Amino acid sequence: MEWTRSETLALAANACVYCHGLGLRTGRRGHEKPCLCVFRSVFRICFKRFRLCHEREKNKTCVSLEGNVWSRKNEEFVADFLSVTRRALHDEDWKIFNYHFLLGADWRLCCRKLNMDRGAFFHEVYRITSRLGRLYRELQPYSLFPLDEYFNGTTRERNRVLEFRARRREGPSFTPPVREAA
């Protein structure tokens, strides 16, 4: 899985103290790797889409034809999001994820229920979100992120060549005047 600078730059947090908003930071052997703020951003984008798909009225769902198969992309995304998340998290991490993200409990209630202090709770939330964000992006063969590839069916492996043909103008070409050096 190759991360590009343009992809990480768009997802990075401007106030990140590790990557300074660039999205890539230098690893141990000098290789650039994505910053954790990029993974958390991927998680937030996927979670926002999960909530949108989950809260949508079921009688207004869209059915699409892909190849020879009819599919409901919104319901499939909800199912994939939950199954991938459940498989990736341990029992304690799943409790935190379930209480905080799925059930919508604030940090006070979660800390009371899980017998944690505030700092430990937020460290676990940041660790879980960055781990899940990486997983959603690097999942093979079909990742949950980017969302347009998931919902529209395109993949990164397809090589799309776009040809831009410049139209030639009829008549003489226009060249702006250039000042000569003195």
User: Tens digits of per-residue pLDDT, 51-87?
Assistant: 998 888 776 677 877 778 787 888 888 999 999 999 9
Q: What's the CA gap between 25 and 37, in Å, rounded?
A: 11
Compute the mean pLDDT over every residue in the chain, rounded to the nearest whole number: 82
Closest CA to 153 of 77, 53, 82, 52: 77
Per-residue pLDDT, averaged over 9-37, amounts to: 87
Q: What is the DSSP letter of 3?
A: -
Per-residue pLDDT, averaged over 12-20, amounts to: 88
Cβ within 8 Å of residue 99, ≥6 positions away: 105, 109, 110, 113, 114
User: pLDDT over 90 for what percent of the chain?
Assistant: 42
The pLDDT of residue 72 = 84
Per-residue pLDDT, averaged over 90-118, amounts to: 94
The pLDDT of residue 1 = 66
Per-residue pLDDT, averaged over 101-125, amounts to: 94
- Name the pTM for this structure: 0.77
Q: Using CA of residue 29, residue 32, residue 36, residue 37, what is the dihedral sign?
A: positive
Residue 134 binned pLDDT confidence (cut-offs 50, 70, 90): very high
The pLDDT of residue 172 = 58
Would you kindly state where each structural domain of the chain is located, as residue ranges?
5-151
The pLDDT of residue 160 = 41
